Amino acid sequence: MTALLTSARTRPVGAPAPVDAADVVRRARRAPRRRHRLVVGGLGAALFVAFAARVLLGDYTVTIPDFFRILTGTDIPGASYIVLESKLPRAVLALLTGVAFGVAGGLFQTTLRNPLASPDIIGVNLGASAVAVVAIALWGWQGLSVSIAAIIGAITVALVVRLVAGPHGGHRLILVGIGAAAAMQSVIQYVFTRVDEYDAQLVLRWLTGSVNGVAWPTIRLLALVLLVLLPLTWWLGRSLQISELGDDTAAGLGVPGARSELLLLLGVVLCAVAVAAAGPIAFVSFLAGPIARALNGGRTTLLGSALAGAVIVVAADYLGSYLIPDTNLPVGVVTGAIGAPFLLWLLARGRTGRRAA
C-alpha cells in the first residue's frame, strides 16, 4: 500500500529534491529579513533624529559643534549647564526607559498573544510605582533600594494578576489587570495625601511618568541594570519565535513552557527598573509592540519594539516640553494622550486575541 498511491503532486520520500527547491526556500526566507532590516534601520534613524532634536533644539538651541565641545569638556557658560544637567540626561533617560518599556511590551504581547496584555495595561507599571512611592515617601528609601522596591511591587502585582486570572492571556487577564492597575493608582494617591508637602510634580511623576529632573546617578544605575537585562533577554528571547507557536508546539520542539514564564518575568523586571527611574510612563509598552509589529508585516520583533519604545518616549518628551508654549507637560501625559485613543480603537475592534490555527 505504500508508495504506490503517490500522486503527481507529491514526490516519493527519499527521491532527491530538485536543486531549485532549496533556492525557493532561500529566496522566500530573504524577504522578511530584508523588511526587518528596513524596520530596524528606519526606527534607528527616527530615534537618532528625535534624540538630536531633544538635545540640540527647543527653547535653547545648541549647535552641533558646541554640543561636541561640551561633551569633550569645554565649558560654555549657560550652554554647558543646560546640556549636561537638563537636556542630555532627559534624552538619555527617555531613551533607556523607552527601550525597557518597548522590550517588555514586545515580550508580553508576543508571549500572551494579545496586544492588550501589555504590562502597562495590566498594572505591572503602577504596581512598581506604588511600592516605589511607599518606599520613598513613607520609608525614606533612595537609589538602588527604590529600584528593588519597584521590582518587588511589579512582580507582586504580576503574580497576583496571574493567580487570579489563570494562565492564559485572554479577556480575564486584561480585566483583572485593569482592576489591579486601578487599585495601585489609588495606593499612590493615598500615599500622597499622607505626605506633608503635596508636590503636584511628584504626584504626576509617579502616576503618569516623567523624565524631568532625574540626576545622573539614577540614570547610570538604570543603564547598568539594562546592560545586564537586555543581553539576557536577547539570549532567552531567541526561542521567542518558538514559544509564540503555543505551548504544545513549542514543547514539541523542545522549548518548555517555563521559558515563556521566564521571559514574562524579565519583562516585569524591565518595567520595574524603568518605573523606578522615570515613573510608569503610560502606554509605551502598549504602543511600541504593535507599532513595531505593524511595520514588520505583523511579525514579532523585539529589537523593533525596543527602538519604537525609545522613539516614542524621546519624541513625546520633546513634544511635551515645547508643543504648548510655557507649559512643560510630563512625558507620561503626552504618551497617555496618544495611547488612550489607540486603546479605545483596539477595544472597539473587539479582537483582543489572535486567530487560532
Partner 1 sequence: MTSATAPATRLSASRLTLGYADRPIVTDLDLQVPNGKVTVIVGANACGKSTLLRGLARLLKPQSGAVLLDGEVIHRQPTKHVARILGLLPQNPIAPEGVTVVDLVGRGRHPHHGAFQRWTSVDDEAVAEALELTDTLGLADRVVDELSGGQRQRVWIAMALAQGTDLLLLDEPTTYLDVAHQVEMLDLLADLNARRGTTIVMVLHDLNLSARYADHLVALRDGAVVAEGTPRQVVTEDVVRTVFGLDNRVIDDPVSHTPLVVPVSRHLRQAQPPTQELP
Q: Summarize as ranges the residues that interact with partner 1 (CB under 8 A).
A: 1-3, 5-7, 9-14, 17, 21-22, 24-29, 31-32, 110, 113, 239, 241-242, 244-249, 251-256, 293, 296-300, 354-357
Residue 15 or 227 having the CB closest to partner 1? 15
Q: Is 289 helix (H, G, I), strand (E, B) or coil?
A: helix
Compute φ and ψ for 225, nearest 5 degrees: -60, -40
Of 253 and 347, which has the nearer Cβ to partner 1?
253
Residues whose CB is less than 8 angstroms from the CB of residue 137 and which lie 6 or more positions away in sequence, other chains included: 191, 192, 194, 195
Q: Please, what is the minimum distance in Å from the beta carbon of residue 331 to partner 1?
A: 30
Contact yes or no for 117/108 (Cβ under 8 A): yes
Residue type (1 letter), 243: S
CB closer to partner 1 out of 10 and 61 = 10
Closer residue to partner 1 in complex, CB, 41/252 = 252
Q: How far is the CB of 340 from partner 1 (least distance, A)?
A: 24
Distances (CA, A) of 279 to 45, 133, 216, 219: 26, 10, 16, 13
CB of 206 to partner 1, least distance (A): 35
Beta strands in 303-357 (DSSP E): none
Length of the chain: 357
Please measure the distance between the N-terminal and C-terminal CA atoms of the chain and give it in whole angstroms: 31
Shortest distance in whole angstroms from residue 177 CB to partner 1: 22
Q: Quote the least distance from Cβ 310 to partner 1, whole Å.
A: 23
Q: How is residue 1 annotated by DSSP?
A: -
How many other CB atoms are there within 10 angstroms of residue 44's CB atom?
A: 15
Closer residue to partner 1 in complex, CB, 34/59? 34
CB of 60 to partner 1, least distance (A): 44
Nearest Cα residue to 157 out of 193, 198, 119, 116: 119
* Closer to partner 1 by Cβ: residue 72 or 355: 355
State which residue, 200 or 357, has the beta carbon closest to partner 1: 357
CB contact at 8 A, 51 and 91: yes
Cell numbers found for residue 57? 533644539
**Least distance to partner 1 from the beta carbon of 301, Å?**
10
